Amino acid sequence: MNISIIGATGYSGVELVRLLLTHPEANIVAVYSNSQTGKTMQEVYPHLMHIFTDDLAEIDCARIREEADIVFIATPSGVSGRLVPQLLDGKLKVIDVSGDFRLATPDLYQQWYGKETAGQEYIDKAVYGLSEWNAEAIKETKLLANPGCYPTATLLSLLPLLQENLIDGKSIIVDAKSGVTGAGRGASLGTHFCEVNESISAYKVGKHQHTPEIEQTLTQLTGQDVLLSFTPHLVPMNRGILTTSYASLKDGVTVEKIAGAYAKAYEGKPFVRLRPGEYPKTKEVYGSNYCDIAWHVDERTGRVIILAVIDNVVKGAAGQAVQNMNLMFGLPETTGLAFTPVYP
Amino acid sequence: MNISIIGATGYSGVELVRLLLTHPEANIVAVYSNSQTGKTMQEVYPHLMHIFTDDLAEIDCARIREEADIVFIATPSGVSGRLVPQLLDGKLKVIDVSGDFRLATPDLYQQWYGKETAGQEYIDKAVYGLSEWNAEAIKETKLLANPGCYPTATLLSLLPLLQENLIDGKSIIVDAKSGVTGAGRGASLGTHFCEVNESISAYKVGKHQHTPEIEQTLTQLTGQDVLLSFTPHLVPMNRGILTTSYASLKDGVTVEKIAGAYAKAYEGKPFVRLRPGEYPKTKEVYGSNYCDIAWHVDERTGRVIILAVIDNVVKGAAGQAVQNMNLMFGLPETTGLAFTPVYP
Amino acid sequence: MNISIIGATGYSGVELVRLLLTHPEANIVAVYSNSQTGKTMQEVYPHLMHIFTDDLAEIDCARIREEADIVFIATPSGVSGRLVPQLLDGKLKVIDVSGDFRLATPDLYQQWYGKETAGQEYIDKAVYGLSEWNAEAIKETKLLANPGCYPTATLLSLLPLLQENLIDGKSIIVDAKSGVTGAGRGASLGTHFCEVNESISAYKVGKHQHTPEIEQTLTQLTGQDVLLSFTPHLVPMNRGILTTSYASLKDGVTVEKIAGAYAKAYEGKPFVRLRPGEYPKTKEVYGSNYCDIAWHVDERTGRVIILAVIDNVVKGAAGQAVQNMNLMFGLPETTGLAFTPVYP
Amino acid sequence: MNISIIGATGYSGVELVRLLLTHPEANIVAVYSNSQTGKTMQEVYPHLMHIFTDDLAEIDCARIREEADIVFIATPSGVSGRLVPQLLDGKLKVIDVSGDFRLATPDLYQQWYGKETAGQEYIDKAVYGLSEWNAEAIKETKLLANPGCYPTATLLSLLPLLQENLIDGKSIIVDAKSGVTGAGRGASLGTHFCEVNESISAYKVGKHQHTPEIEQTLTQLTGQDVLLSFTPHLVPMNRGILTTSYASLKDGVTVEKIAGAYAKAYEGKPFVRLRPGEYPKTKEVYGSNYCDIAWHVDERTGRVIILAVIDNVVKGAAGQAVQNMNLMFGLPETTGLAFTPVYP
């Protein structure tokens, strides 16, 4: 497979490079960046010395259509909405790692992202790439909307319980914690080491753009009515997301039913590890494509608390994108992704 | 005031030393530790060189009753329950920084702490030291149960809303994040740098001993029926607690009513700073006795999300203990506590 | 004392605010910033809420000369060189926390800083403010050049040994490690959390502008010929500098002579703590004005290795500036600076 | 190749597991641990769930001799000295990741390690496994002493310059900085998160057991007389070593000669990356087997300053051990080690 990457200098882009370099079927033919055009990847990321030293080219959709079998777009939001119409032509497959094709309508996107994306006809072509839940559609699509980092952990946590009708969709609260790579590589006071280190804080309470992505997908895939609170937090670490999700159990739901729902949902899914009663640490999936899920039933309150951890740059971005690429090209899901977490 | 400290070598104990050394009315007459008897404080904590170099004595209740006007007990749980009966005599006042006198009955303590504490007659003597809410009783007591770190931030967040009947006491979820000092100075795999750094995890889900302390106090002080979920998390930082609390608003509750409840509760309270709509960082109260509280109304879900930050070692332990000492001796609450947070 | 602060929004400036707020003789009359004019300090630093909420004014030298007894300049290098000629008039005293008046000639400054500073006549008026070594001159000056962070730790380490002629001035190597506050609050890729965290690196090898400041002062104060290597490193922490200095011992120098030199130099100096044979941690001086110094004689190699730790924002900047202010106004050196380190 | 690992539960041991699991020629037949016998690897390291779940067996040398082609010993020092005589028999090859076979005599070991190791006859059988410098001997040996973490970075930095006679062997100073994994997984106050975080300190000044390993190897491989100062420091990060080495240049040595020495030494060496004039960060080799080397000539002082970074758990331990295994079995050095650094 010949591969192009647009936005290769962001954290998701450079992680795509890392993963694809050891993928047995992948061949990176070109990397593109508008902000760093003319530099080599090694100049922007010295850790790639002797490994990947290609020049960063200006984005050229015609060249990509010609050279590549698949293109990954790992730009900030608001870019791929404009690029995709120029790319979707002929054999080229597109995986958009940004948020531009995830929400059901341009209006919803405008409301939560505060900017414009593609028209409805392009959004309608996109398949949502939650690999474990949407594999059949993923295999057929030419335009894939790769899930957001927070939605990945949240959806994998909640879908089994909603699908089996075990929890109340209106009772859900998701308290999420992320490492700083989630904020991107752009320099700002909010990502300054001294302002983040030895501190934790919430942000965008009630306003984060991943909220509608989570709600919409839960409803689409399970038919349940869902309205939830989602609160992201910034944690002084580079990588990792932990979501702590709370939901009220429906009457008569037992621990066994919960365990059964998870077992049924994730049987044969190589990247989901079920750890009932445990306390997964984000470090335990560091650098890998795993999502570890634990659950705890609190009989006092009638709630289930679900803990899920991912590496936000891997399963929450580049890793799941490669997993989806594998599905789109008929390869085993794990091809090029069999990384043991780097611990500690 | 002549002061003794039992358990001076833990993180709360040594913070008491720091705070009391610059307190204009305080005179530390002796420090006690069973684990480090015979060493000097400087041997255990080199940062105290030239500042505080007293020997650590074996615990001697008779000597304390004789020498001290007040004794702070900053031991692990299960110790002060045995010591207090030997200390409560004559003029001596006792502030217990551990959890032994916080819960209403020995049975409740046994259930959540898994060990024994004092008998009911001693528990009944203890006043719960949430300074901003219980000042009149604090001023009169000789035995003060200093609040836990998580309860302090949680209670200060929720009490105004429950007191004004603005939220549903059964809907409350508290998702709490703490720095590692909360785990104490004892060496264990769970506090090993490499196991904590670059990671976040939950612990004791549904089982943390601060849960009944929070519920009991909310009900005692507001008369409301409360049953809540409390989930603590370990964050890779030394100091700081952030609590993110969620509650369903009662019908017709407006942002103005919420603001009014907080303003009414904390008018004239020097250590509570109200920051509606903001995102307080734990670093913004580092080393100080402040509790910063922000709230966000999410109209989509009908919930209020309350963010509160404290330094767990100060307002969550030693600082509030000194604040209570001030109250017990008729001093202004802020005496010796007017620290600007150390930022960054 | 009425005090103005220029550059109050940098890390040194806001630390000056913290220290001066509890200084019994200090009254901050105005804070100035060209980059944030019109905002309040609380807007720029929320941790100052309810504590210090003054507006940030545009720099106005005439107003400062009128209102203030002393002005601190805590701007980036290259600014105070222009301001001082407008400030040095009448009774006003000036403490420059930046580097503009530390080097002996404008040419030397140009060579190492790559920009212009004041003319020779103003440089000649400036007294170098290494409090423990230059107190008599400091007491008399109206223009004080506050030492750099690295030079403070280095000079306090090396001066006693050079003064007593115990080490070879040409053999000295200083390997220095600093927290990220040393890089200032400006956002850049170099201070981005993810680029600094979980990493250590050197920078400006052989080129750091503190090198001539160190050499010049060592020679001026001891008469010894000095030529040294100085290498700074960036450590993933907020505050703290550790200097590890290496020097060849002259013939016949014993451990006792070394201990004697330090004892003689720092007898009665309240902010220097001598810890022979120990391994001081930067955390042990966190938030305080102490410099802890340890030394180890390596008989195999005939070298002495000196370890010194300071809080770069306190003893390395704002704290030493206040110490110098105390000297300049005839106050005890420790006034307003008797902080116990915040540990841990 | 059938592989056994003794001491699989330490940080080097579990990293061996990570590396060998994706090594195309490796098959781990058993893992041994005396401290955790009876547990599974997954119980001790939950990140290995679904990946490697073998039981930890009690050390059994007879079984190892029978089952394995090669055994890695990753125990604390003082263990392999006793084990090796029971293992060196028949076809079995041994790689000792601990320090027991690195020093030339039992006396030297006793002097620096303070305990006993194997007898001289076994030490004499051992080949020092600095892969880039000793490949021919490594290929022939059955007992390999894998280099220490600090020596690896230091030796790769200094050998080219000594071999070409460009620096004075008596002038060398090595100032080294390490992440906390270097201290092992044992819980102690010295590895407690709160005691390490936000701090840096030196340790074992003049006494570190890697000092004679460095000196001895420099002399053995270059014939130069060497006596150096080595100072290790603990940095608040998990992985990574940076060595900053200083040496006086011999007369007439130019930058070109230095560059030539490095180019000659490392031509065709896949894991050494030469970065003259740069400032390598430890994060740039994170999780990989690279050693990045930069050098800076300081003409003022006539010294060269060499910066080298490695991942202490990979190139400083498990990675180099696998590299040596490859050499010992006639495989390409890079087999199973072509990891891109995990950045950031």
pLDDT in tens, C152-211: 999 999 999 999 999 999 999 999 999 999 999 999 999 999 999 999 999 999 999 999
Q: Where do we find the tokens 């000194």?
A: B322
- Number of other residues whose CB lies within 10 A of the CB of residue D113: 19
Give the span between the Cα atoms of C31 and D59, in whole angstroms.
69
Q: Tokens 């005692």 appear where?
A: B220
Using an 8 Å Cβ cutoff, are C2 and C15 in contact? no
Homologous superfamily, domain B150-312: Dihydrodipicolinate Reductase; domain 2 (3.30.360.10)
- Per the residue annotation, which of A61, A149, A194, A291 is the catalytic one? A149
Query: CA angle A64-A66-A71, nearest 5°?
Result: 35
Residues constituting chain A: 344
Average pLDDT, chain D: 97
Tokens of residue B40, six digits: 């000097």
- Three-class SS of residue C306? strand
Closest CA to D343 of A196, A46, C202: A46
For residue A7, the SS3 value is coil
**Is the predicted pLDDT of residue D315 greater than 90, yes or no?**
yes
Dihedral of the alpha carbons of B244, B247, B253, B254, in degrees to the nearest 10:
20
Instruction: Tell me the C-alpha to C-alpha distance, in Å, between residue D165 and each of B107, B225, C233, D211.
Output: 77, 82, 28, 21
- In angstroms, the Cα distances linking B333 to B289, C76, C332 are 11, 40, 29
Q: What are phi and psi of D309, to 5 degrees?
A: -125, 140
Is there a catalytic annotation at residue B194?
no
For residue A311, give the chain B residue with the closest CA.
B199
Task: Say if residues A314 and A292 touch (Cβ distance below 8 Å).
Answer: no
Give the Cα separation of D113 and D110 in Å (integer): 5
Q: Is the dihedral of CA B32, B35, B36, B37 positive or negative?
A: positive
List the domain boundaries for chain B: 2-125, 150-312
Paired tokens of D61: 């040398």
| Amino acid at position A76, single letter | P
DSSP character string of C30-87: EEE-SSSTTSBHHHH-GGGTTT--PBEEPP-HHHHHHH-SEEEE-PPTTSHHHHHHHH
Contact C219, C227 (CB under 8 A): no
Rounded to 5 degrees, φ, ψ at A239 are -120, 155
Residue A119, exposed/middle/buried by CB under 10 A (0-12, 13-18, 19+)?
Answer: exposed
Contact A261, A166 (CB under 8 A): yes
d(CA D250, CA C247): 19
| pLDDT higher than threshold 90 for residue B268 | yes
Answer whether B140's CB lies under 8 Å from B126's CB.
no
| pLDDT score at D232 | 98
State whether D340 and A284 contact (CB < 8 Å).
no
Band (B197; pLDDT cuts 50, 70, 90) = very high
pLDDT tens digits, one per residue of C229-240: 999 999 999 999
**In this prediction, does ipTM exceed 0.95?**
yes
**What are the structure tokens assigned to A170, written together?**
């209106």
**What integer is the mean pLDDT of C307-336?**
98
Fold equal for D2-125 and D150-313 = no
Q: How many residues does chain C have?
A: 344
Structure tokens at A222: 């399970």
Mean pLDDT of chain B: 97
The mean of the pLDDT values for chain C is 97
Following DSSP, what letter does each residue of A236-250 receive, concatenated?
A: SSSS-EEEEEEEEBP
Instruction: Please tell me the predicted confidence (pLDDT) of residue A89.
Output: 84
Angstroms from C283 CA to nearest CA on chain A: 13
Q: pLDDT of A164-194, one tens digit each? A: 999 999 999 999 999 999 999 999 999 999 9
Best of D23, D49, D284 to mutate (most A CBs within 10 Å, chain A): D49
Query: How distant is the Cα of C143 from the closest Cα of chain B, in angstroms?
Result: 28
Flag whether residue A36 sits within 8 Å of chain D, measured between CB atoms: no
pLDDT surpasses 90 at D34: no
Give strand pairing partners of A55. A40
Residues of chain A neighbouring C182 (CB-CB closer than 8 A): none
Q: Where are the alpha helices (DSSP H) in B114-202?
A: 120-125, 135-140, 149-163, 193-196
- What 3-state class would DSSP assign to D331? coil
Q: Please, what sign has the CA dihedral across residues A155, A161, A165, A170? A: negative
CA distances from B330 to B135, B317, C215 (A): 11, 20, 56
Question: Using CB atoms within 10 A of its CB, is residue B21 exposed (0-12), middle (13-18) or buried (19+)?
Answer: middle
pLDDT-derived band at B89 (thresholds 50, 70, 90) equals confident
The whole-angstrom distance between D296's CA and the closest CA on chain A is 18
- Which residues of chain C are within 8 Å of residue A188 when distances are taken between CB atoms? 187
In whole angstroms, what is the distance from residue D339 CA to residue D303 CA? Answer: 34
CB contact under 8 A, D287 and A285: no
Show pLDDT as tens, one digit a residue, over chain A (344 residues): 999 999 999 999 999 999 999 999 999 999 999 889 999 999 999 999 999 999 999 999 999 999 999 999 999 999 999 999 999 988 999 999 999 999 999 999 999 999 999 999 999 999 999 999 999 999 999 999 999 999 999 999 999 999 999 999 999 999 999 999 999 999 999 999 999 999 999 999 999 999 999 999 999 999 999 999 999 999 999 999 999 999 999 999 999 999 999 999 999 999 999 999 999 999 999 999 999 999 999 999 999 999 999 999 999 999 999 999 999 999 999 999 999 999 99
Q: Which residue of chain B comes nearest to A177, CA vs CA?
A: B200
Task: Look up residue A317 and give its DSSP letter.
Answer: I
Has domain D150-313 been given CATH number 3.30.360.10? yes
CB contact under 8 A, D343 and A45: yes
- C121 Cβ under 8 Å from any chain A Cβ: no
Helix, strand or coil, per DSSP, at residue C208:
coil
pLDDT digits (tens, 9 = 90+) for C141-154: 999 999 999 999 99
Share of chain D above pLDDT 90, in %: 99
Band (pLDDT 50/70/90 cuts) for residue C89 is confident
Chain D residues with CB inside 8 Å of A18's CB? 340, 342-343
d(CA C37, CA C31): 10
Structure tokens at A46: 């010295």
Q: Do β-strands B27-32 and C241-248 pair in parallel, antiparallel, or remain unpaired?
A: unpaired
Q: What pLDDT does D89 receive? A: 84
Largest CA distance in chain D: 63
Is C200 near chain B, with CB under 8 Å?
no
The A residues from 59 to 78 touching B (CB cutoff 8 Å) are none
The CA distance from B240 to B57, in Å, is: 30
CATH class held by domain B2-125: alpha beta
Burial class (CB in 10 A: 0-12, 13-18, 19+), B63: middle
Q: pLDDT tens digit string along C14-70?
A: 999 999 999 999 999 999 998 899 999 999 999 999 999 999 999 999 999 999 999
Could you tell me if residue C22 is left (phi over 0), alpha (psi between -120 and 50 degrees) or otherwise beta? alpha
Q: From A182, which residue of chain C is nearest by alpha-carbon distance?
A: C194
- Which burial class, exposed, middle or buried, applies to C115 when counting CB atoms under 10 A from its CB (0-12, 13-18, 19+)? exposed
pLDDT at C34: 87
